Structure 1
Amino acid sequence: MLGPRRRDRRGRGLRGPLLPPSLPGHRTRAARFDELVLEAVGRLERRWGPQIVGTEFAVEDVPPSEPAPWETGGVPLGRCFPGDVGQPARVVVYRRPVETRAVDEADLTDLVRDVVVEQVAHLLGRSPDDVDPRFGG
């Protein structure tokens, strides 16, 4: 019976992660993007909690290839799906198109916030400025 392996096949020993989990570089771009969406949603929940309770917020890499009937023009940055019988309302933010349009990290933060605000405004039937006064349009 073999004991625990102490070395790899070249005798160098076990390798550890390049960056420890405590450093910011350890998170992936997708994980950082998810955090930005959660921050934007948390801000809106403090203000619109009762109206958006039960709404699901999701992040997908890219939108499906078939656009929704109301979408014209370029690639959507997010979508809002109203609730249906047995289905909660859902807001989806598309990570890759949003990241492509952002110039830097600060711009990405603002763009994620604006996309979430636009979709929640659509869900609530209000203007984005009503939903969040900091909306950049």
Structure 2
Amino acid sequence: MRGPLAPAEVPISRTRAERFDELVRDEAHRLEQRWSRQLAGVEFAVEEVPAIEPNSLDADTVPLSRLIPAADGRPPRIVVYRRPVEARGGDDERDRARLVRDVVVEEVADLLGLSPESIDPTYDSPDD
């Protein structure tokens, strides 16, 4: 687990995982600009894969993300699972970026009790 995302740094060469972290960080930042009061204190994180019991889910039900509600003094946390998103998003970086956008928007909508379309009008649209 890499945990909460740190501020962006610009290395000479980035790994695939670092590029994914950047996609999630950029999407979180974009939504925080519009929903700053509601998202104050919310943590965004990337993990490689979800912790699931073997044989408990089939390939079509592997979660892409998870909302962990606030508890015991900890803020709410939105976790995006890199490998399932990359597997579903394919090799095209634009498709992967759209999927990350939609996944993060869905979790923020769930957190705020709103529809994804009200969180982001570009939700589920093929065009950026």
* Range of TM-score over shorter length: 0.7 to 0.9
Matches within 5 A, 1:1-137: 21-22=11-12, 26-66=13-53, 74-103=61-90, 104-136=92-124
Tell me by how many angstroms 1:35 deviates: 0.3
Q: TM-score normalised to the size of structure 1?
A: 0.75
Higher relative contact order (CA 8 A, sep 6+): 2
Runs of 4+ in 1 over 6 A off after TM superposition: none
Instruction: Compare CA radii of gyration and give the structure with the larger one.
Output: 1
Aligned partner of residue 113 in structure 1, secondary structure: helix
The alignment covers a number of residue pairs equal to 109
TM-score by length of 2: 0.80
Deviations 1:94-122 (A, max 9, x none): 00000001131000000001100000100
Structure 2: runs of 5 or more not aligned? 1-10, 54-59
2:56 corresponds to: none
Q: In the TM superposition, what is the alpha-carbon distance from 1:85 to its structure 2 partner?
A: 3.3
